[in-house]
Amino acid sequence: MEKEVLSILDKRTNFPYDIPIEKGAIRASDLRRIKSGPDDFGLMSYDPAFLNTASCQSAITFIDGDKGILRYRGYPIEQLAEKCTFLEVAYLILNGELPTELQLKNFVAAITRHTMLHETTKSFLEGFRHDAHPMGMFISTVAALSTVYPDAKNVHDPEVRKLQIHRLIGKVPTIAAYTYRHSLGYPYIYPDDDFSYTENFMNMLWKMVEPKYRANPVLARALDILFILHADHEQNCSANVMRAVGSSQADPFVCIAAAAAALSGPLHGGANEEVLKMLDEIGSKENVRGYVDKIKAGHGKLMGFGHRIYKNYDPRARIIKWAADQVFVATGRNPKLDIALELEKIALEDEYFIKRKLYPNVDFYSGIIYQALGFKPELFTVLFAIPRTVGWLAQWQEMLQDPEQKIARPRQVYTGYDVREFVPIEQRAVRAASASR
Ligand SMILES: CC(C)(COP(=O)(O)OP(=O)(O)OC[C@H]1O[C@@H](n2cnc3c(N)ncnc32)[C@H](O)[C@@H]1OP(=O)(O)O)[C@@H](O)C(=O)NCCC(=O)NCCS
């Protein structure tokens, strides 16, 4: 097959360049050959917020945002959500193939072995104020685990990496549950090996004085499905942070803490909590149209709407809507659902949202179902971080094994002063400082 090439004519010099195209992309470093003269550094591409820059090659997750497609390792998300458990999907994401029965048994056993936290980590959590946000506690506690497992620094040893992956997937539900119990002043509940991953999490959250906690199987399955839907989402903001921090060869505990910090923002994983606040603010179905008009007039954003990649219905939102119906049979209907459905209806028929291709994203319905499951809004982003730990670890591992990857170091287009004379303090006049300088 003939090689694909992009021909560029630099009108500054009238020099032609042939830039190879591979897998639908040109290499940005090939642009460096394009110079206006011998002293020129070479052409760069300027791409604030990475709107059109591939930072890696990845075989983990595929998204077609226009068609609303999401696949992990080639398998459609709808099939995985219907037929698999979360840990089965975690194995797939991390290892590239669905596990055999024996592989899954061993993987589940490995994760289960690592669900306990060191007792000193419990004392660490004790230091937080009673009203500390669970996400802040989660981020700090995951980072603190780096001090408990100094062996994790050896990021180039595959066996060491595997151990940290098991530790992290095993421990994040325990940390999440402890942050919740801490905020209520309840004693922490140790993990219980009798349970599945999600049942064990529910046990650590909600066990009180009963001798054995029993999770409602419908709710445990719904949570498992939510975990599957949130497990990975290719190069999103937090995955990019995971790769960037990991590229300095920092240990995976601090990398996950950094990725979780990125997730905590309201434009990323924090959106599900914001959706609930928004639905509370709207209050009733009758107020929806007025609220939408306010958004269109430039007062804020419709939380849980819009996506950098999906310009169609987020396939995860569709599955969550279906799962919500199952949950409501067991819990009774969350009245916020009616407001959300009305909001979706009005927005999807509105020119403003149609023109900008703004559809409900994963966070639009996840908050409603989380609330019906019994979770407080402050815990929603932590509920996102637990399964996403799997995706972050898979992205991190892939980055470390990629011979093309180096420490992440973007370039800049410098817009500051050219060199200038130093001014002694007594001669300095007050001048309006530009915030950017
Ligand atoms: C997800 C998100 C950050 C993507 O941002 P982005 O790719 O940078 O898109 P932009 O901010 O450039 O948006 C494009 C246009 O749509 C508008 N827009 C985007 N999301 C909107 C929303 N949720 N409500 C109202 N308008 C929105 C923008 O104002 C912009 O309008 P303009 O062209 O008139 O300036 C953005 O859609 C958003 O903030 N959504 C709400 C938060 C959320 O739900 N996040 C969870 C993501 S899973």
Atom of ligand 1 nearest to the CA of 304: 44
Distance in Å, CA 366 to ligand 1 centroid: 18
> What's the confidence (pLDDT) of residue 214?
94
- Locate 146 and state its tokens: 């780096």
Per-residue CA distances from 22 to 1, 4, 27, 29 (Å):
12, 7, 8, 13
Its pTM stands at 0.93
307 included as an active-site residue: yes
CB within 8 A of 140, min separation 6: which ones?
128, 257
Residue whose CA is at the smallest distance from ligand 1 atom 36: 306
From first to last of its 437 residues, what are the pLDDT tens digits of the chain?
A: 678 999 999 999 999 999 999 999 999 999 999 999 999 999 999 999 999 999 999 999 999 999 999 999 999 999 999 999 999 999 999 999 999 999 999 999 999 999 999 999 999 999 999 999 999 999 999 999 999 999 999 999 999 999 999 999 999 999 999 999 999 999 999 999 999 999 999 999 999 999 999 999 999 999 999 999 999 999 999 999 999 999 999 999 999 999 999 999 989 988 888 999 999 999 999 999 999 999 999 999 999 999 989 998 899 999 998 898 889 999 988 888 899 999 999 999 999 999 999 999 988 988 889 999 999 889 999 999 999 999 999 999 999 999 999 999 999 999 999 999 999 999 999 876 555 44
Asked if residue 354 has its Cβ within 6 Å of ligand 1, the reply is no
Residue whose CA is at the smallest distance from ligand 1 atom 20: 306
> What's the confidence (pLDDT) of residue 39?
94
> What's the confidence (pLDDT) of residue 437?
46
* Contact of 60 with 396, CB cutoff 8 Å: no
> What's the confidence (pLDDT) of residue 270?
86
Asked if residue 305 has its Cβ within 6 Å of ligand 1, the reply is yes
> What's the confidence (pLDDT) of residue 282?
96
CB within 8 A of 149, min separation 6: which ones?
164, 167, 251, 253
* Contact of 125 with 137, CB cutoff 8 Å: yes
* Ligand 1 mutation target, pool 279, 305, 310, 366, most atoms within 8 A of CB: 305
Asked if residue 71 has its Cβ within 6 Å of ligand 1, the reply is no
157 included as an active-site residue: no
> What's the confidence (pLDDT) of residue 246?
98
